[in-house]
Structure 1
């Protein structure tokens, strides 16, 4: 009687090392996609899953946006200064098209005011400022009466603000060509108090003209002169930064001033 030999199933532990390695290799090959299905990148033919991950830094993006805004503001200020060239602060009148151009640039700056509550940060307002533009105008008979056509020249206009004393001094400088190039100034002292986060109320206190020779020139029309430059009323501070300030008063006037370092003006 023949005997059938039944071979028991082979266990991995009983498989020769060579067969064991071959079987494991075959199992792995079934798990790995075929080469034809692997997408490769253009750089170094790397498999897709080796593509480097790009991280976006949101903070840097925000900072960049801030820089763009600052540059836009600086550009608007440069455009305003360019528009103000050659108009002598607008005191003796400017063409209507030029006036509209300037006021549009002023409005753009006001809409981007970096100090929305200026009376809460009066340290930004303190110090000496020089007028670069105003809608105050001296035209026609007023200019003739004040001798501001040929005889007397209107020079610089400064404003010194002392926030500790709540005082402001406006200084308007003149030179009289007929008096051996005599130079002098009108000084108007005023006090102010905070009326809102953007507005101050102004009270004129006293005024002087020096030297006496210049006072003699203006004496007849002194009230007219004060009526033009008197700061009495209220002033809305519509824009202020480290170098420029814009304001509007209760008479509808616009003032654009730049910071001036000489406090002895």
Structure 2
């Protein structure tokens, strides 16, 4: 079995990390490191055509992301990171599902600056949270279009000014449909490229 298949098998059924035990996390990290050793795109940030688009989160160790699942009667739906390389922007979009009419959405918009062939500095600029229905949410692409034309969302849509809302992301593996990243807080992210969302 190759490294990519081994990692995908290890994260299968772990609900993006929510169901991973400590033993699972150790195994996944080992499989992830082996995959990184076989990165077909060593200078990941130069492969803009591969990076550009919408990516769905398959696995993470980020407590901030996984903590969104702790809301009563609601659970974490799909999570996307949408990269717009030409604009130097990324859109993190987490769908919250549950009781009808209570479906929610949490989105964080950031700018990024390439600082090496694998690393970007990230500055978070805007935070949007609310009901999918009230926000008129249909898809990640539609939300991004609304944001880019200047639409404001209620009840919570605000700019992030704090200097503490910065970090970095290193892309350690990239192929046509899988991306692995490591963040400044020690978190790992495994994402799959989405088609037409």
Segments ≥4 residues shifted beyond 6 Å: 212-215
Q: Following TM superposition, by how much is the alpha carbon of 1:162 offset from its aligned partner in structure 2, in angstroms? A: 0.6
**1:212 and 1:100 mapped to 2: Cα distance?**
36
Q: Is 1:94 the counterpart of 2:15 in the alignment?
A: no
Q: Following TM superposition, by how much is the alpha carbon of 1:185 offset from its aligned partner in structure 2, in angstroms? A: 1.1
Secondary structure at 1:182 match in 2: coil
Q: Which runs of 5+ in 2 are unaligned?
A: 136-154
Which of the pair has the greater relative contact order for Cα pairs under 8 Å at 6+ separation?
A: 2
Calculate the TM-score normalised by the size of structure 1.
0.59
CA contact (8 A) 1:93 1:137 kept: no
Q: Following TM superposition, by how much is the alpha carbon of 1:231 offset from its aligned partner in structure 2, in angstroms? A: 7.5
Q: Following TM superposition, by how much is the alpha carbon of 1:173 offset from its aligned partner in structure 2, in angstroms? A: 0.4
Q: Following TM superposition, by how much is the alpha carbon of 1:107 offset from its aligned partner in structure 2, in angstroms? A: 0.4
**Mapping for residues 149-164 of structure 1, pairs under 5 Å:** 150-164=72-86
Judging by fraction of residues, say which structure has more helix.
Answer: 1
Q: Is 1:85 the counterpart of 2:19 in the alignment?
A: no
Residue 208 (structure 1) aligns with: 128
Secondary structure at 1:103 match in 2: helix
Equivalent of 1:233, from 156, 159, 167? 167
Change (3 A) 1:231 1:117: farther
Change (3 A) 1:116 1:231: farther
What is the alpha-carbon root mean square deviation over aligned residues? 2.9
Number of aligned residue pairs: give it.
173
Secondary structure at 1:164 match in 2: helix
**2:38 and 2:106 mapped to 1: Cα distance?**
34
Residue 180 (structure 2) aligns with: 246
Q: Following TM superposition, by how much is the alpha carbon of 1:176 offset from its aligned partner in structure 2, in angstroms? A: 3.3
Q: Following TM superposition, by how much is the alpha carbon of 1:175 offset from its aligned partner in structure 2, in angstroms? A: 1.5
Q: Which runs of 5+ in 1 are unaligned?
A: 1-71, 220-225
Q: Following TM superposition, by how much is the alpha carbon of 1:148 offset from its aligned partner in structure 2, in angstroms? A: 2.1
Judging by fraction of residues, say which structure has more strand.
Answer: 2
Change (3 A) 1:184 1:163: same
Give per-residue Cα distances to partners, 1:207-235, cap 9 Å, x unaligned.
111328889xx98xxxxxx9xxx983000
Give per-residue Cα distances to partners, 1:160-180, cap 9 Å, x unaligned.
111111111010000132xx3
Residue 189 (structure 2) aligns with: 255
Q: Whose radius of gyration is greater, 1 or 2?
A: 1
Calculate the TM-score normalised by the size of structure 2.
0.77
Change (3 A) 1:246 1:150: same
